[in-house]
Amino acid sequence: MPKSTPTTPPLDREAKRRLAVIRHVEEITGNVAMSCRYFGISRQAYYTWYRRHQAEGVEGLRTRSG
């Protein structure tokens, strides 16, 4: 019997949005401030998401309960 690999649940809506912001900076504008204005977020929020994405991958973008 083959081993089943654990599957991760799909990303929630907010995690997808965070990934979209990061990709927008990397692939479209190359400009953090411009992308943040476009998406209506602070640069501080962007860099928090970016650091988590660098450290943990896409899983780091999931919403964390407080």
Q: Please state, in angstroms and rounded to a whole number, the distance separating the CA atoms of residues 16 and 12.
A: 6
- DSSP structure string for the chain: -PPPPPPPPPPPHHHHHHHHHHHIIIIII--HHHHHHHHT--HHHHHHHHHHHHHHGGGGGS----
pLDDT on residue 30: 93
Per-residue pLDDT of the chain (66 residues; tens, 9 = 90+): 566 666 777 889 999 999 999 999 999 999 999 999 999 999 999 999 999 999 999 999 998 876
pLDDT on residue 4: 62
